[in-house]
Structure 1
Amino acid sequence: MFDTRANILLCGCGAVGTMAAVALERSGCAAVTAVLRSNFSVVEQKGFTIDSVDHGRLTGWHPSYIARSVENAMKHGPFQFIVIALKALPDIYSIPELIAPAVTPFESTIVLIQNGIGIEQPFINAFPRSTILSGVSMIGAHQLSSGVIRHDRSDILHLGPIYNASISREKEDELAALFSSLYTSGGASCLLTENITWMRWKKLVWNASFNSVCAMTGLDSGAIIDAGGVETIIRPVMDKINSIAKASGHTLPDGIQQLMIDSMPREMHFRPSMLVDVERGNPMEIEVIVGNPLRIAQELGCETPILRMIYEHLKLVQWRIRRAKTGSRLQK
């Protein structure tokens, strides 16, 4: 049904998605159709300009095909892999609805390269006859302007299947291995893991704390440290995420909190994604980074007052951002 080269649809061509497209294309064994939104015209005319720690300087680069929408991309289908690198914003839009026209049951494998915990369930519900591969990206990449990307920390993707009873585990493992091979052959790194949910909790220790608190305060990571926020709010949030993970059956390494704190030396003055979103007036991934762990904690009977405070604060900020974009009053 598919060509010799893996035919791949990629939705979400920001910095992370673009670097995924680069790795897949440079394998020589994949043809990527990238769905672009705000940067379509720039990329169509000039291609991407990329400074990459893995791939060097790329000028005028573009994937095999670009399209303005999933519907427009269908002329390049059918697709063996559908890679989702869009921000996970279930309170704003439904990605399963967006990609539904491109999903072929038992043939299209959905690859999620997104932040957060519990992101897979909407795709499992919408596509019960498709393999879902869940990916945790540890890349450092930033879109400086439309079509201009700085990639300054090597692309490492941790990947694992979310096993589906209607598909053999052997087939799903083979699909994960195939995607990993494509990604790694293109000059990045894709590491297969048997417990991708554990990896998601590990990354969430950092995201639910530094990412959220920076967005709440408007301070970068270095300023949070200088202001004394590590002991008063960052570490308590990390402690709570660690305890929720453990209660849900995922024991993280001893000292994970200090490890994550040490990964953010004050001289970095790192501006995480949610802070950048607030500054640009874009919606934040609060539901998958804070809301979902809060709901999991409630189901497990865990008390989470600090996480609840952060969530409710960020929901107000999100409301303000959405109101500014719509230009009208929003109801709750």
Structure 2
Amino acid sequence: MQIAIMGAGAVGCYYGALLARAGHAVTLIGRAAHVEAIHQNGLVLETASGRETFSVAASTEVEALRGAELVLFCVKSNDTETAGAAMAVKLADSAVVLSLQNGVDNAERLAAIAGREVIPVVVYAAVAMAGPGHVRHHGRGELALGASTRSEPLARLFQAAGVQAAVADNVTGMLWAKLVINCAWNAVSAVTQMPYGALMAVEGVRDMVIALVRECQRVAQACGVTLPEDIERSTLMIADTMAGQRSSTAQDLARARPSEIEHLNGFIVRQAQAHGMATPINHTLLVLIRALTQGHPSSDISPA
């Protein structure tokens, strides 16, 4: 299958590498330094099992999407509308689009811009770029696809590539659950530039995470969203299962790039305000990240 990755950062490159290994024709669309490294050295995937290099197409131009049968849309939430509009005119009518993004409303926003169905996908993968054209896998890698007539065949496609993938009955609840986990950890990791395991060892962090989760639970309830009963436990477990990982927001700040904070804690704050609720912890973290990113350049089709 002809597969394009729009906004090929760590997430896009990881799944792009696995799909290329499975024999699919993969095209990565991303930043110039990334594309140049792939042209010179191939796409490098580093896992606990070792290091592999894949020959894939790569481009900085959206034009490279032409001919794609499947598109994995992996851009930052901030860039959904801009990238979606640029992509829409290049796609074949039969192309299938998956949103592998943080946040809960990207598929809906992208569908409105692109004028086509977009299937939301919840991503559970700890991956990071170790350098241009070099993605490092730290753990997990499962995908949960939203329900669609096309979802079951796509789940099987990922499964054949070695990815644990399934169609979810309640993808909205799963997206919200991941949002809560991101709200609990991303900003704190970014402000401190510390990984999750080290953060949990700091006195008071555990209590703060629990308070933040409960704050998000109240907002979710006001929005009519049912979160998993174990959301508090699963959020705390991140400190164990991803102990050595810094958040994507921490990595964005370290590289002086725009973060997705407005679509994480910022989303919770806006939803709370719409329901006449206060979310002081989320609001504090949002403001701190805004202050730390003040003056960062805006991005253009930046990878998640």
How does the TM-score come out when normalised to structure 2?
0.89
Counterpart residue type for residue 12 of structure 2: G
Tell me if the contact between 1:23 and 1:184 (Cα under 8 Å) persists in the aligned partners: no
The answer to whether structure 1 residue 41 and structure 2 residue 36 are counterparts is yes
How many angstroms does 1:272 deviate by? 1.3
Pair 306,19 (structure 1): closer, same or farther in 2 beyond 3 Å: same
Pair 227,56 (structure 1): closer, same or farther in 2 beyond 3 Å: closer
Partner of 1:79: 68
Partner of 2:302: none
Partner of 1:3: none
The answer to whether structure 1 residue 122 and structure 2 residue 72 are counterparts is no
Partner of 1:24: 19
The answer to whether structure 1 residue 264 and structure 2 residue 239 are counterparts is yes
Q: Distance in 1 between matches of 2:161 and 2:246?
A: 28
Q: 2:259 aligns with which of 262, 284, 298?
A: 284
Relative contact order (alpha carbons < 8 A, sep ≥ 6): 1 or 2 greater? 2
SS in 1 for 2:258: coil
SS in 2 for 1:32: strand
Q: Distance in 1 between matches of 2:158 and 2:248?
A: 24
Counterpart residue type for residue 73 of structure 2: I
The answer to whether structure 1 residue 150 and structure 2 residue 136 are counterparts is yes
| Deviations, residues 98-132 of structure 1 (Å, cap 9, x unaligned) | 31232334x2221111111222232122123x121
Partner of 2:210: 235
* Contiguous gaps of at least 5 residues in structure 1: 1-5, 162-171, 326-332
The answer to whether structure 1 residue 94 and structure 2 residue 89 are counterparts is no
Counterpart residue type for residue 102 of structure 1: K
Q: Distance in 1 between matches of 2:6 and 2:254?
A: 24
Counterpart residue type for residue 117 of structure 2: T
Tell me if the contact between 2:3 and 2:25 (Cα under 8 Å) persists in the aligned partners: yes
Partner of 1:254: 229
SS in 1 for 2:77: coil
Q: Which one is further off, 281-290 or 251-260?
A: 251-260
Give the CA RMSD over aligned residues.
2.4
* Contiguous gaps of at least 5 residues in structure 2: 300-304
Q: Distance in 2 between matches of 1:156 and 1:51?
A: 17
Tell me if the contact between 1:48 and 1:147 (Cα under 8 Å) persists in the aligned partners: yes
Q: Distance in 2 between matches of 1:152 and 1:266?
A: 10
The answer to whether structure 1 residue 179 and structure 2 residue 154 are counterparts is yes
Runs of 4+ in 1 over 6 A off after TM superposition: none
Total equivalences in the alignment: 298
Tell me if the contact between 1:27 and 1:182 (Cα under 8 Å) persists in the aligned partners: no
How many angstroms does 1:231 deviate by? 4.1
Partner of 1:300: 275
The answer to whether structure 1 residue 159 and structure 2 residue 159 are counterparts is no
